[in-house]
Amino acid sequence: MMKAKIYIPNKSAMQSGTGKTDKWILEYETKNPTSNPLMGWESSSDTRTELKLEFSSKELAINYAKKKKIDFELIEPKKRKVVKKSYADNFLN
């Protein structure tokens, strides 16, 4: 049976905005990974591991997985605590 994980990707450390963090991703897990003896890379003959499906909501991703009979793991996003700062705060303390 196919296994997949459903999650929202984290924002890149190289950006301060939250762009591209509103889509849910369904990503298949690698079956029987093998190590390439020449380069040492991990590889697999399963091409579904290269596939990432984007959904606009969590419910759509879950419904797709259930419809296609994909065993999935749902990873809920953690909420960030945003502290609003002002440049003037450096001089007021």
Dihedral (C-alpha) 67, 54, 11, 3: value to the nearest 10 degrees? 40
Q: What is the mean pLDDT of the chain?
A: 85
Q: Rounded mean pLDDT of 24-29?
A: 93
- pLDDT for position 5: 95
Task: Say if 50 falls within a structural domain.
Answer: yes
- pLDDT for position 4: 94
Q: Which residue has the tokens 């890379």?
A: 41
Task: Say if 84 falls within a structural domain.
Answer: no
Task: Say if 13 falls within a structural domain.
Answer: no
Task: Say if 89 falls within a structural domain.
Answer: no
Q: How many domains does the chain have?
A: 1
Give the domain range for residue 58. Answer: 1-8+24-29+44-77
Task: Say if 17 falls within a structural domain.
Answer: no
- Length reported for the chain: 93
Q: Rounded mean pLDDT of 17-26?
A: 81
Element (H, E) at 76: none
Q: Name the most confidently modeled range: 17-21, 28-32, 44-48, 67-71.
A: 67-71
Q: Who contacts 64 (Cβ-Cβ below 8 Å, separation ≥6)?
A: 26, 53, 55, 70
Which pLDDT band holds residue 23 (cuts at 50, 70, 90)? Answer: very high
Q: Rounded mean pLDDT of 74-88?
A: 86
Which of residues 57 and 84 earns the better pLDDT score? 57
pTM (two decimals): 0.72
Task: Say if 61 falls within a structural domain.
Answer: yes
